Amino acid sequence: MTPVVPDASVALAWYVEEPESTRAAQLQSGSVPLMAPTFLQVEVANAMAMHMRRRRPIPLDYPEAALRELRSGGIAWTPDSLLIDSAAAIARRHLHPVHDCLYLALARREEAMLATFDRRLAALAEALAIPLWSPDDVQETP
């Protein structure tokens, strides 16, 4: 089965109620192997902090509990240092933020699909011939 690289827009929707949370949960509950750059943890923690600053509902034990769950949730973590050169090259060529390009670099390196709810990142993935994940790609585990 083709692995999937979820970005922060997907991972955040696992822990905070977002319009895309149902779709994101399908990825997490399926039998798809997940992998991510370690920077995903930073992005999710930052997004949760932004939710708290904006006084949006978030469980009291977050972000710590969510980050523990994220780290132990079956994602194969790739050190950012292994991806940064490729990510920086993609960012330079396409004038896109380097942190987003970490996900693209990993998906390209591992021949994985990218899971994102970010339209700009999805468009860049398509331009780079990186396949995009959709809920139709999930097979439920028995």
Compute CA 65 distance to the chain's CA centroid, rounded to the nearest angstrom.
18
Residue 141: the pLDDT is 40
Residue 97: the pLDDT is 98
pLDDT in tens, 60-111: 566 788 888 899 888 999 999 999 999 999 999 999 999 999 999 999 999 9
Exposure class string for 45-68: b at 16+ Cβ within 10 A, else e: bebbeebeeeeeebeeebbeebbe
Average pLDDT of 25-31? 80
Average pLDDT of 107-127? 97
pTM confidence score: 0.89
Average pLDDT of 22-50? 90
